[in-house]
Amino acid sequence: MSAPDRPASPVVPVLLLLIAMASLQGGASLAKSLFPAVGAQGTAALRLLFSALILLPILQPWRLRLPAEGWRIVALYGLTLGGMNLMFYMSISTIPLGIAVALEFTGPLAVAVFTSRRLLDFAWIGLAAIGLVVLIPHGDDLAALDPVGVAYALGAGVCWALYIVFGQRAGLRYGPRTVALAAAFAALAVLPFGIASAGSALFSAQLLPAAVAVAVLSSALPYALEVVVLTRLPARTFGTLLSLEPVFGAISGLLFLGEALSLTQWGAVAAIVTASAGITLTASRGKR
């Protein structure tokens, strides 16, 4: 008799997710260099367009045979991806990167809350939420934030939550090739906004190297990794691990944009890291 299958370790998918988050936030910092030339909408369009052009020949989604329901799920996956990108770039055009990511994280945090069943899960989620609250400015600092930028960040959070739900369904049912189709849907949805905002400047050859770098760092690499991770981790674990996204955003903002954190905010970062590590370890034990 063969030995029973051991449950898959979460270590590999967690490492892949860490790489995805570091790549995503590094790309977001680079993307801000394109804002003066093509604006936030144009940058989002370039990011998604080149991401789709990179992923389509690699993943070859035309090999898929999707039923009508499959096309619906992939289309929703792509539209939420496009909305998340567009609104996030609109937000960081007026508010700091680390703050925008912290506000955007309300989406995956909501997914973690609504899909959790164990009391310990809620404890880790609560610790992550406390860290996020500390990261967000208060009082006069909060009042100084652009309210439109805040609204865009929260809207991106809604799209992020839906992206997790539809991305997990698409990945589990139809495999990682769906990320290329989703990227194509996202690019088609956002490209009109980019053209309306930037016009012919959007297709300047001088922007090509930076646009391709942003596409690889911010979309092609992280989303390809995330669709693999989504099939190997529960939604609550994935959602809570994404609490590290503001940490990477804050570090990226510090290194590349000069957006410094206070000692209290670094304490919040430590709380978020602890929560993410805790839910990973308890998820691993819960599968044994």
Residue 7 DSSP label: P
Q: Is residue 262 part of a domain?
A: yes
Predicted confidence (pLDDT) at residue 113 exceeds the cutoff of 90 = no
Domain of 72? Answer: 10-285
- 69: pLDDT confidence band, cut at 50, 70 and 90? very high
State the pLDDT confidence band at 138, using cuts at 50, 70 and 90: low
Answer yes or no: is 144 within a domain.
Answer: yes
Considering its fold, how many domains does the chain have in total? 1
Provide mean pLDDT across the span 26-50.
89
Distance between CA atoms of residues 65 and 118, nearest Å: 38
Structure tokens at 35: 């804002």
| End-to-end C-alpha distance for the chain, whole angstroms | 20
**Which has more confidence, 141 or 22?**
22
Which of the two residues, 58 and 191, has the higher pLDDT score?
191
Position 47 in a domain: yes
Residue 186's pLDDT band (cuts 50, 70, 90)? very high
Whether 5 is covered by a domain: the verdict is no
Weakest-pLDDT range from 31-35, 202-206, 229-233, 249-253: 249-253
User: Does residue 87 surpass a pLDDT of 90?
Assistant: yes
**Percent of the chain scoring above 90 in pLDDT:** 24
The answer to whether residue 1 is domain-embedded is no
Band of pLDDT at residue 249, cut at 50, 70 and 90: confident
Split at pLDDT 50, 70, 90, the class of 81 is: very high
Cβ-proximal residues to 44 (8 Å cutoff; 6+ apart), any chain: 82, 85, 86, 88, 89, 90, 190, 193, 194
d(C-alpha 27, C-alpha 139), whole Å: 30
Instruction: Give residue 143's pLDDT.
Output: 64
**4 in a structural domain:** no
Q: Which of 73-82, 190-199, 212-221 has the lowest mean pLDDT?
A: 212-221
* Residue 28 is assigned to a structural domain of this protein: yes
For the cut 80, the answer to whether the pLDDT of residue 12 exceeds it is yes
Confidence of residue 4 (pLDDT cuts 50, 70, 90): very low
Output the average pLDDT for the chain: 81
Does 174 score more than 50 pLDDT?
yes
- Secondary structure of 43-103 in HEC code, one letter for each residue: HHHHHHHHHHHHHHHHHCHHHCCCCHHHHHHHHHHHHHHHHHHHHHHHHHCCCCHHHHHHH
- 95 close to 253: Cβ distance less than 8 angstroms: no
**pLDDT tens digits for range 204-244:** 888 889 889 988 888 778 877 877 887 787 766 776 676 67
Task: Please check whether residue 278 lies inside any domain of the structure.
Answer: yes
pLDDT at 1 exceeding the cut of 50 = no
Q: What is the pLDDT of residue 282?
A: 67
